Amino acid sequence: MSKELSKTYDPRDIEPRLYEKWETRKYFHAEVDRSKKPFTIVMPPPNITGQLHMGHALDNTLQDILIRYKRMQGYNALWQPGCDHASIATEVKITEQLKKEGIDKEDLGREKFLERAWQWKEEYGGRIVSQLKKMGSSADWDRERFTMDEGCSKAVEEVFLKFYDEGLIYKGNRIVNWCPVCQTTISDAEVEHEEQTGHFWHIKYPIVGSDDFVTVATTRPETMLGDTALAVHPDDERYSHLIGRSVILPLVNREIPVVADSYVDREFGTGVVKITPAHDPNDFEVGKRHDLPVINVLNDDATINENGGKYAGMERYEARKLIVRELEEQGLLVKVEEHVHNVGTHDRCGTTVEPMVKQQWFVKMEELAKPAIEALKTGDLQFVPDRFDKIYLHWLENIRDWCISRQLWWGHRIPAYYCDQCGEMVVAKEAPEACPKCGCTHMTQDPDTLDTWFSSALWPFSTLGWPEKTEDLDYFYPTDVLVTGYDIIFFWVVRMVFSGYAHTGKSPFHTVLIHGLVRDSNGRKMSKSLGNGIDPLEVIDKFGADALRLTLVTGNAPGNDMRFYWERVESSRNFANKLWNAARFIMMNLEDRDIETPEDFHLKLADRWILSKVNTLAKEVTDNMDRYELGIAVQKVYDFIWDEFCDWYIEIAKYRMYSREYDEDSADYALWTLKTVLTQALKLLHPFMPFITEEIFCTLHPDQESIMISDWPVYQECWNYAIAEEMMDAVKDVVRGIRNVRADMNVPMKKKVRVFIVSDNRGTCEMFETVKNSFKILVGASKIRVQTDKKGIGEDAVSIVTPKATIYMPLEELVDKEKEKARLTKEMERLEKELARVKGMLSNANFLSKAPAHKIKEEEEKLSKYAQMMEQVMERLAFWK
């Protein structure tokens, strides 16, 4: 072989070089090819503001594993990449940049701001793509899309107009999530719920026409200014006499009714709930059922508005303090309890979100949700693992209308136009030349933009050319698998599914593979606030992308969180080193040797065994991959390479290559087997560790272009050597048994001893006779004899019982009796001193009274350990006497 592997494995050298090779040769690119079956994955589009984090690394590693696997299986594999415009995140970044330059967003104006936004996108938008490439992501970058490119924007406009014409999009007053700092509605996906310690304020509401009152508990006293009713459960006998009566709203002195509604939880709080339709989504629904007025008491910046009376103009928490003080002064505050509850905050700025009734654009969800529900029930859509079915169905079956408008400039602008003269609204692709109602020629477009999720909901088909009937769409759609985290099932997966049915009549994918979060070593979620995030690029720089990928997928089970440990990355790097060194050993011995494929009868037991093992491995790994058990699959490949191949077969093969007991043909057959099995193992490992497998494979097979376009290993009946596996299992039992005895007796491997293998089964004896020389070196044997009885074996021989035979080794050849007695005596004397010291400390009252508890526990553990060691030493001394 002309090409050699370098002496040491250096991922920093091979990874950039190989990725450039793959990209240059267009191995990632897919075109319509009707002779092949397509396999398509759409990449969850990262934000253009994004910096690669461990969640991205895991998500894209899993996708890349699947796409590489299917590509090797012969599918026309397309991994469709792209980025999301991330309206809020991007606008926040640009606004912050402008502030540093002393420029106010409003003064700059919308058009100039959008110019800056597009400049920002061009400068920073490709950053995360270059980082994904460092991970080895084999996406079709020639097809990269952006949610605001011309094609995706056309799809968004088409959907808005279609839904509006069908009456599925409307403008109305409903409860939304409002961010007082960013001054926009935000989606449920952008609300983070965090546990906060707050209070329950128990407040008296006087009953009209009575000296009595009813007590209400609330966590937000300032919203009581907008209360329009109290509610009790219709079956709650405690309050049945109040239904239909009225109470006085404290501080405001407005009469409000008491209504009966099954929404009320009788067991929570006092069983009486204040209803504030303008500031709570559940209250809003209760208000609709009972035709209650909606009184908004907050301005957009979360100060109290004119409906708040004397509190108008006050910041919400400032007003809360004053309201609580005045309630106490008026004797209306019964008590205050500490209360831990979930508070919604905006994931971008950390501000507590206010539920508020706003006039916004909404999508009616009830009819759209039905096909998405049916898809799961009929099996057209499946979740892996299926425990996420319940979450998906629960969200769809309880879905509310979707608020799709945002008070932002960056994004898809709503195609609605208003007459400056009469206010008439027209929804159209372009502004009409004149108002259809009054003829005015001045029309102003709606200032709002669409929720980012509105465009990403179309991602599986808009990226393939929809609404045009493209060949790509016809061939690659529906896609096959969506890989995503469990935290966005509701927000993105659901929306893609109902959008797929609404616009294409099909589910956008048949499988959703759910993964968990990557947590730190203590199990905490990685976050900026905790400062516990791990930068994947730092890991790649230290250990290589392959080591990071192997770490992320090893032990990974669908839907489960995993912990990140630096030690595991080191272990992955060590595995890469072991594979590299094994490959170098094989190639050094293959050099200048022209080895022909042997006939079956040429193969030795170990050859058949390892071929049978890698054959079974191919079948099992393929089954695991098809079931999306990627963590199990890679563990099997890892164990095979490290244990079966490197630690067993290579060591056995070495003896055949270097021992005079074997001829040159036997060495050649061992080398053929080494090369063949290594090739199969590299292919099975490739989806998980693409770089190292490519470098080794192309060096081992200089006539091959790339491992990534080679064929995936398949099970071959001609490599099914079940008897060889059974025989080698017996050999391994013998080797392990002998090694364990040598370790227990501190006998170095360089000390050669005779080994006797005894079995009364002649077939077993014949088997061991055939293979004995192949494992002689593994047990440090000077000679191995196989016999049916104990003839010629001394009485003091050490015995090892295995399922197939009993092994004997002469004691005097293992250990020098006098030297061992001397060593054990010295060890006994040392332990006597240690035991005396520890017992002395533990019987010292002064030490016990002053020493910290952990120090006392440490000495007690030492006492137990030394006592156990002494017992073992005494047993060995008794044996030698």
- Write the CATH number for 267: 3.90.740.10
Which stretches does DSSP call E strand in 190-264?
191-206, 213-218, 229-232, 246-249, 254-260
Best CA proximity match to 146, nearest among 468, 411, 432: 411
What tens digit of pLDDT does each residue of 116-169 get? 999 989 888 888 899 999 999 999 999 999 999 999 999 999 999 999 999 999
Q: How confident is the model at residue 663, as a pLDDT?
A: 66
Q: Which of 81-85, 266-270, 393-397 has the lowest mean pLDDT?
A: 266-270
Binding annotation: 528
Question: Domain range for residue 729?
Answer: 725-815
Summarize the confidence of residues 336-343 as an average pLDDT. 80
Best CA proximity match to 473, nearest among 459, 486, 485: 459
Residues 302 and 214 in one domain: yes
Residues 341 and 249 in one domain: yes
Produce one character per residue of 808-841: b if its CB has 16 or more CB atoms within 10 Å, e if not.
bbebebbbeeeebbeebeebeeebeebbeebeeb
N- to C-terminal Cα distance for the chain? 60
Summarize the confidence of residues 47-64 as an average pLDDT. 90
Which range scores top for mean pLDDT: 172-181, 238-247, 336-345? 238-247
Q: Which residue intervals of 208-338 are DSSP H helices?
A: 281-289, 316-329
Instruction: Examine the fold and report which residue of 705, 720, 735 is the final residue of a domain before the chain moves on.
Output: 720
Q: Are 689 and 621 within 8 A, CB to CB?
A: no
In a domain, 607, yes or no: yes
Residues 384 and 770: their CA atoms lie apart, in Å, by: 48
Residues 196 and 339 in one domain: yes
Q: Long-range contact list for 646-650, CB < 8 A, 24+ apart?
A: 646/578, 646/579, 646/582, 648/606, 648/610, 648/732, 649/606, 649/609, 649/610, 649/673, 649/674, 649/677, 650/582, 650/585, 650/586, 650/674
Q: How confident is the model at residue 488, as a pLDDT?
A: 75
Q: Are 763 and 788 within 8 A, CB to CB?
A: no
In a domain, 21, yes or no: no
What tens digit of pLDDT does each residue of 738-760 get? 898 888 888 888 889 899 999 98
Amino acid at 666: S
* Residue 320 confidence (pLDDT) above 80: yes
Amino acid at 302: A
804: CATH: 3.30.2320.20
645 CB burial (10 A radius; 0-12, 13-18, 19+):
buried
Residues 573 and 700 in one domain: yes
854: CATH: 1.10.287
Instruction: Examine the fold and report which residue of 329, 355, 381 is the final residue of a domain before the chain moves on.
Output: 355
Enter the DSSP assignment of 48: T
Sort strands 333-346 and 191-206 into parallel, antiparallel or unpaired: antiparallel
Is residue 524 helix, strand or coil? coil
Q: Across the strands, what pairs with 615? A: none
Best CA proximity match to 156, nearest among 406, 449, 410, 455: 455
Q: How confident is the model at residue 82, as a pLDDT?
A: 95
Is residue 148 helix, strand or coil? coil
Best CA proximity match to 693, nearest among 4, 14, 12: 14
Best CA proximity match to 708, nearest among 6, 80, 5, 67: 67
Per the prediction, the chain carries an average pLDDT of: 91
Task: Tell how far CA 253 is from the center of its chain.
Answer: 54
In 10 A of CB 119, how many CB atoms? 11
Q: What's the pLDDT band for 2 if we cut at 50, 70, 90?
A: very low
Q: How confident is the model at residue 1, as a pLDDT?
A: 43
Residues 583 and 645 in one domain: yes
Q: How confident is the model at residue 243, as a pLDDT?
A: 94
Task: Give the whole-number percent of the chain exceeding pLDDT 70.
Answer: 98
Q: Which residue intervals of 103-172 are DSSP H helices?
A: 105-108, 110-124, 127-134, 150-165
| Interior angle at CA 852, CA 848 and CA 854, nearest 5 | 105
Enter the DSSP assignment of 315: B
**Maximum Cα–Cα distance across the chain:** 118
- Cα torsion angle, 620, 623, 626, 629, sign: negative
Q: Across the strands, what pairs with 514? A: 484
Q: Which of 225-229, 527-531, 594-598 has the lowest mean pLDDT?
A: 527-531
Residues 859 and 837 in one domain: yes
Residues 190 and 324 in one domain: yes
Binding annotation for ATP: 528
In a domain, 231, yes or no: yes
* Residue 438 confidence (pLDDT) above 50: yes
Q: Are 178 and 356 within 8 A, CB to CB?
A: yes
Residues 506 and 6: their CA atoms lie apart, in Å, by: 51
* Residue 344 confidence (pLDDT) above 90: no
Phi, psi (rounded to 5 degrees) for 402: -95, 120
Instruction: Examine the fold and report which residue of 695, 720, 745 is the final residue of a domain before the chain moves on.
Output: 720
In a domain, 686, yes or no: yes
In a domain, 390, yes or no: no
Amino acid at 569: V
Produce one character per residue of 250-275: b if its CB has 16 or more CB atoms within 10 Å, e if not.
bbbeeebbbbbbeebebeebbbbbbb
Residues 806 and 848 in one domain: no
Residues 680 and 748 in one domain: no
Residues 778 and 822 in one domain: no
Best CA proximity match to 583, nearest among 675, 481, 456, 478: 675
Residues 215 and 338 in one domain: yes
What tens digit of pLDDT does each residue of 526-558 get? 877 778 888 999 999 999 999 999 999 999 899
Q: Are 88 and 184 within 8 A, CB to CB?
A: yes
What tens digit of pLDDT does each residue of 780-796 get? 888 999 999 988 887 77
Number of domains in the chain: 5
What tens digit of pLDDT does each residue of 485-494 get? 987 777 789 9
Sort strands 254-260 and 246-249 into parallel, antiparallel or unpaired: antiparallel
Residues 822 and 811 in one domain: no
Percent helix, strand and coil across the chain, each rounded to 5? 50, 20, 35
In a domain, 868, yes or no: yes
In a domain, 24, yes or no: no
Is residue 116 helix, strand or coil? helix
Summarize the confidence of residues 349-354 as an average pLDDT. 81
Tokens representing 447 are 């200032």
* Residue 592 confidence (pLDDT) above 80: no
667: CATH: 1.10.730.10
Q: What's the pLDDT band for 839 if we cut at 50, 70, 90?
A: very high
Q: How confident is the model at residue 661, as a pLDDT?
A: 59
In a domain, 738, yes or no: yes
Is residue 873 helix, strand or coil? helix
Residues 702 and 60: their CA atoms lie apart, in Å, by: 30
Summarize the confidence of residues 436-459 as an average pLDDT. 94
Which stretches does DSSP call E strand in 687-778?
753-758
Spatial neighbors of 252 by CB under 8 A, at least 6 apart, are 224, 225, 227, 309
* Residue 457 confidence (pLDDT) above 90: yes
Best CA proximity match to 118, nearest among 90, 137, 96: 90
Residues 770 and 700: their CA atoms lie apart, in Å, by: 32
Q: Are 855 and 862 within 8 A, CB to CB?
A: no
